Amino acid sequence: MVKQPKLYISLLFAGTFLIASLLFFACGEESTTGPAISHEVPFALGITDNSGGTHNGASLLYVTFGDNAKSDATHVKSVRTNSPPVIDGSVDGVWSSAPASNVACAPMSGNNNISAATLKSLHTATDIYFLVSWVDPTGTENTRRHRYSYKNGTWSENDENEDRVFFMWDIAGAADGRGTFKDAGCMVACHGEMHPTKGKADFWHWKATRTNPASYSDDQYGDSTGRSSDDGSGAYSDNGDVQTRDYQAPNDPGADAPFLYLNVPGKPKAAPYSPNGWNNGDELAAYVNKVPTGSRGDIQAKGKYNDATNTWTVEFKRALNTGNADDAVITTQ
């Protein structure tokens, strides 16, 4: 065995110690600072009550991703989870892992006196989830939009509206002459004609009467040609016209069912309308709820109203990337 000189051994030990020290301090610095914000995606929020279709909200918010992502009045931090919530309008325990952003709601189209909303977000490798809650200033669960009433052989339609939640996302450079959606949100891209004049925007539109009974949100888009529904069929259709119904509840006349369903799992299927046997005061829903199809059926959403607190809570779920050209791609990094 050949003995190495003492100087060689000393230098080898010193070099090894130096490399180990550098690795130690490098790792220590990384663990202290943690990962930076990986990404933030702009969006807008609008909330409508029953006061004539007016809506309040925030024209520019951000959903943020990453351990050090912002969470404040304009930034909604989305937390990664392996146990996503059930979309049923109830607040599952997993939502406690996501910080709440208390968002101020300002008048956007008229003023419905909704002053604030609370938002949370979760995501998995494939899907994103939102929880939106707010106090309804009217103190009413508005789910009777255009409902029909029978009197003396004729039907009449009420003038009620419905509670709604509206999200807007940029698909491809949404803007108008005043600027871009990325800079100022929906105030420059959709108000007035309710669609951008340049690029394309994605609209998520939950409606308490028309989409909530089927546990979905409507899915639409806007571009220079106007506002359109995504490809496929929606979660509702009109129940005939004012005097000629298409459907009634299975146990009508006289059931006064709040909603009519065609193919919603666990719900009774509506029967063909018959003009016979109706009495004064009988009511019929103005819409028929159904499971949407195609790109228009991308967004699961369900809301529940708490009568004791006059609070709506609505949950949303959508794929981060649906693969459809009429949907925004939400990237997490």
The predicted pLDDT at position 241 comes to 84
Ramachandran area for residue 214 (φ above 0: left; ψ -120 to 50: alpha; else beta) = alpha
The predicted pLDDT at position 51 comes to 67
Mean pLDDT by 10 residues, the chain (333 residues): 40 35 32 54 92 83 95 97 98 98 90 93 98 94 96 94 95 86 74 77 96 98 92 97 90 97 97 97 98 98 97 98 97 94
The predicted pLDDT at position 91 comes to 97
Query: Which amino acid, one-letter code, is at 125?
Result: A
| CA distance linking residue 266 with residue 289, whole number of Å | 13
Taking the mean position of all CA atoms in its chain, how far away is CA 227? Answer: 18
Domains and their CATH numbers in the chain: 38-137+160-227+292-333 (2.60.40)
The predicted pLDDT at position 242 comes to 76
Q: What is the largest CA-CA distance in the chain?
A: 115
Sole residue written with tokens 């990325």: 182
